Amino acid sequence: MSKLLAVLDAFDDLPQARHLRERTYEGLGDTVVDVGCGSGRAVGELAARGARSIGVDLDPAMIEIAAGRRPASEFHVADATALPLADGSVTGYRADKVLHALAEPGQAVAEARRVLASHGRAVLIGQDWDTLVIDSDDPELTRSLVHARADALPHPRVARRYRNLLLDNGFTDVTVEVHTIVWTDAACLPVLAGIGGEGAWFDDQVARARDDRLFVAIPFFVASGRRTT
């Protein structure tokens, strides 16, 4: 857990990541649920903007960390497909880097519609795991490693389906944006270790980080829509 938290914190501290989070907060209204809240960074930032923010995560350890970091906020251990919220009880729904890990991502979007009030806004954020861009001396191996990592996830390509998932669940005014995060320092190495493991490929990435030659680009898809009925 400590390694995962360190990676998440390093990513969240990137200026580009902060800008992306700020973009996803727009139009969520005064009562927002953040699904897959992790350590609660977004919950705290939404609260600082004046919203009642509710964090939900399936991992009890993450919820414990989030509650410890942000004791004034509200957190729940719950599944994204069965939120502990009444029908129409929130004005905003946010799911960041979540749907790829779910067995049934469509059910989570249906649940988003259930808990949203009329004219409430849902925002889905995540990477398409096939589209990670990593500079290396062996592009063919890099491509195979990225695809193998993607195929280990339940729904690695769900981000390209965000728009259709929102439309299929009755959302209107659906839009999609792409924001690319560029990572060039050693803080990215744990992510690359998870892709390539130990060996020559990862050793090359470590050397690139040491020589200030590391390059990783991750496109993030942001889809949003409104519940109008």
User: What string of H, E and C letters represents the secondary structure of the chain?
Assistant: CHHHHHHHHHHHHCHHHHHHHHHHHCCCCCEEEEECCCCCHHHHHHHHCCCEEEEEECCHHHHHHHHHHCCCCEEEECCCCCCCCCCCCEEEEEEECCHHHCCCHHHHHHHHHHHEEEEEEEEEEEECHHHCEECCCCHHHHHHHHHHHHHCCCCCCHHHHHHHHHHHCCCEEEEEEEEEEEECCHHHHHHHHHHHCCCHHHHHHHHHHHCCCCCEEEEEEEEEEECCC
Residue 2 pLDDT level (bands cut at 50, 70, 90): low
End-to-end CA distance of the chain: 41
Task: Look at residue 113 and tell me if it is in a domain.
Answer: yes
Residue 123 has pLDDT above 80, yes or no: yes
Task: Look at residue 78 and tell me if it is in a domain.
Answer: yes
Backbone angles phi, psi at 180, to 5 degrees: -100, 125
Task: Look at residue 176 and tell me if it is in a domain.
Answer: yes
Give the model confidence (pLDDT) of 155-175 as tens digits: 999 999 999 999 999 999 999
Residue 1 pLDDT level (bands cut at 50, 70, 90): low
Give the model confidence (pLDDT) of 44-88 as tens digits: 999 999 999 999 999 999 999 999 999 989 999 999 999 999 999
Instruction: Please say whether the beta carbons of 36 and 95 come within 8 A.
Output: yes
Q: How far apart are CA 138 and CA 2, in angstroms?
A: 31
Count CA atoms within 13 Å of residue 9 on its CB side.
11
pLDDT confidence of residue 88: 98
pLDDT confidence of residue 8: 83
Residue 3 has pLDDT above 80, yes or no: no
Task: Look at residue 41 and tell me if it is in a domain.
Answer: yes
Q: How far apart are CA 138 and CA 185, in angstroms?
A: 20
Q: How far apart are CA 46 and CA 52, in angstroms?
A: 8
The CA angle 219-6-33, to the nearest 5 degrees, is: 65
For 87, 126, 128, 174, the CA distances from 113, given in Å and listed in that order, are 9, 19, 23, 13
The strand pairing partners of 176, in sequence order, are 223
Task: Look at residue 187 and tell me if it is in a domain.
Answer: no
Average pLDDT score, the chain: 95
Question: Residue range 91-107: average pLDDT?
Answer: 97
pLDDT confidence of residue 229: 81
**In which domain, by residue range, is 174 found?**
2-127+154-181+219-226
Task: Look at residue 147 and tell me if it is in a domain.
Answer: no
Task: Look at residue 134 and tell me if it is in a domain.
Answer: no
Give the model confidence (pLDDT) of 184-222 as tens digits: 999 999 999 999 998 999 999 999 999 999 999 999 999
CATH number at residue 102: 3.40.50.150
Task: Look at residue 36 and tell me if it is in a domain.
Answer: yes
Count of structural domains within the chain: 1
pLDDT confidence of residue 6: 81
Give the model confidence (pLDDT) of 7-40 as tens digits: 888 888 889 999 999 999 999 999 999 999 999 9
This prediction has a pTM of 0.95
| Phi-psi domain of 147 (left: phi exceeds 0; alpha: psi -120 through 50; beta: other) | alpha
User: Amino acid identity of 154?
Assistant: P
